[in-house]
Amino acid sequence: MTESATPWPGFYYSLPMLVSLAVSTVACGWSLRRIATRPGDEQSRRDRTLAIVAAWGLVVSSSLLGVASTVSGALMSTTCDGTFGTVANWAVWPLGLVALIMAPWCLFTIASPRATRAKKAKADRS
């Protein structure tokens, strides 16, 4: 059996990732469509939309972070990568950095309570 060692994830890893991205994209689009067509006040729609888009962003950024860190680690350990490997590594590092920043931001956006809810509850008590 022939086997190659490359820094790029093969179908064994990338196919489940692509399926999860496709399913989450369809679910995000379906949810956003439902929010747009259902009655409700504008602020609650914005809050739900922000949470759904942040959940989709968490799926995308965590997948990107995993791939970028794997590719960068493999490229750095390769001694015969040449110019293409160096250029690819310099392109992967910013992607990994963006994913590293986006994943916690999306998680915080999903988990944190909205400040508008606190203002509305305070106004209702008055």
Count of domains forming the chain: 1
Residue 94 is assigned to a structural domain of this protein: yes
13 assigned to some structural domain: no
The C-alpha R_g of the chain, in whole angstroms, comes to 20
Query: Could you list the residue range(s) of the whole structural domain that residue 81 is in?
Result: 24-113
CA-to-CA dists, residue 114 to 96, 103, 118, angstroms: 28, 19, 7
Q: Would you state the pLDDT for residue 11?
A: 76
Q: Residue 55's pLDDT is what?
A: 93
Q: What is the pLDDT of residues 46-92, one digit of tens each?
A: 888 999 999 999 999 999 898 888 888 877 777 666 787 778 888 88
Residue 53 lies in a domain: yes
pLDDT of residue 113 exceeding 80, the answer is no
Summarised one tens digit per residue, pLDDT across range 38-55 is 888 888 888 889 999 999
In a domain, 120, yes or no: no
| pTM, to two decimals | 0.75
Q: Taking Cα atoms as reference points, which of 3, 14, 49 lies closest to residue 30?
A: 49
Q: Does a structural domain hold residue 14?
A: no
Instruction: Let me know if residue 4 belongs to a domain.
Output: no
SS3 state of residue 35:
helix
Residue 59 is assigned to a structural domain of this protein: yes
Q: How far apart are CA 94 and CA 81, in angstroms?
A: 19
Is 6 within the bounds of a domain?
Answer: no
